């Protein structure tokens, strides 16, 4: 049987340990809060991704960029501007769909898309909560035609990136 002295020591030790536990819990919570503010960092790369893809369309020789001995960024070769090239250009990008419209000041010259269903997605871009992001941008380009003439043009790029 425990003596009175022993039970007094145990009970007083328990009271001290309760305070120690409380102190430990408070310190842990503060520690977790400080740490989580550094760890929980959301990086939005949608704009970056969009810009890189558009840049690829305009700069790459595998896409629409005009080339002779070198590539001319921002000059679209009309002969290369077709759906086959678009599909090749974004071959490894399964989550991305494009619709590109090339026009001059007055008329639409050509529209190409990598998938027909992209037209169905255009009205859905207005919805706030959706499983994809949309972008629509117009670029000023020069168009090189079959006669090797350069003309003013605008390239409208509509894209859908699955989240």
Partner 1 sequence: MNKKGIFEVSIYAPFALILFALILIVAWFLFSAPARPTTDVIKSVESSRINLLLINYLRTPVDEEKNIADFIVESFKKSNYEKLGSETRNEFEKLTRQILDPLYPETMCYNWNLQIKLMPDDKELLFIFNKGRLFTPPTADTSIDVPLIEKPSKYLRVRLYEEC
- With binding defined as CB under 8 A, does residue 56 bind partner 1? no
Nearer to partner 1, 1 or 39 (CB): 39
- Among the listed residues 43, 92, 94, 123, the single contact to partner 1 using CB under 8 A: 43
Query: CA-based angle 156:49:35, to the nearest 5?
Result: 150
- Among the listed residues 6, 9, 18, 52, the single contact to partner 1 using CB under 8 A: 52
Give the DSSP per-residue string, 76-103.
Answer: EETTT-SHHHHHHHTTT-TTEEEEEEEE
Nearer to partner 1, 75 or 125 (CB): 75
User: Under a CB-based contact definition with an 8 Å cutoff, are residues 108 and 143 in contact?
Assistant: no
Sign of CA dihedral 105, 108, 114, 116: positive
For partner 1, the binding residues in 108-137 under the rule CB under 8 A are none
- With binding defined as CB under 8 A, does residue 142 bind partner 1? yes
Nearer to partner 1, 3 or 36 (CB): 36
For partner 1, the binding residues in 12-41 under the rule CB under 8 A are 24-25, 28-29, 31-33, 36-37, 39-41
- With binding defined as CB under 8 A, does residue 104 bind partner 1? no
Separation between Cα atoms, residue 126 and residue 82, nearest integer Å: 28
Single out the residue of 138, 155, 136 nearest to residue 66, CA to CA. Answer: 155
Query: CA-based angle 91:115:84, to the nearest 5?
Result: 50
Start-to-end CA distance of the chain, whole Å, equals 68
Nearer to partner 1, 115 or 135 (CB): 135
Give the binding site for partner 1 (CB under 8 A).
Answer: 24-25, 28-29, 31-33, 36-37, 39-45, 47-48, 51-52, 55, 58, 73-75, 105, 138-142, 149-152, 154
């Amino acid at each position: 049987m425990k003596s009175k002295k022993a039970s007094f020591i145990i009970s007083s030790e328990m009271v001290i340990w309760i305070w120690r536990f409380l102190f430990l819990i408070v310190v842990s919570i503060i520690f977790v809060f400080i740490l989580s503010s550094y760890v929980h960092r959301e990086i939005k790369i949608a704009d970056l991704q969009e810009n890189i893809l558009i840049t690829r369309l305009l700069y790459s020789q595998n896409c629409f960029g005009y080339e002779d001995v070198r590539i001319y960024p921002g000059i679209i070769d009309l002969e290369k501007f077709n759906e086959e090239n678009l599909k090749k250009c974004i071959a490894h990008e399964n989550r991305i769909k494009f619709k590109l419209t090339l026009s001059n000041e007055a008329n639409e010259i050509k529209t190409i898309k990598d998938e027909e269903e992209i037209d169905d997605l255009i009205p859905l871009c207005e919805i706030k909560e959706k499983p994809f992001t949309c972008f629509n941008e117009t670029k000023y380009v020069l168009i090189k035609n079959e006669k090797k003439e350069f003309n003013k043009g605008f390239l409208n790029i509509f894209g859908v990136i699955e989240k």
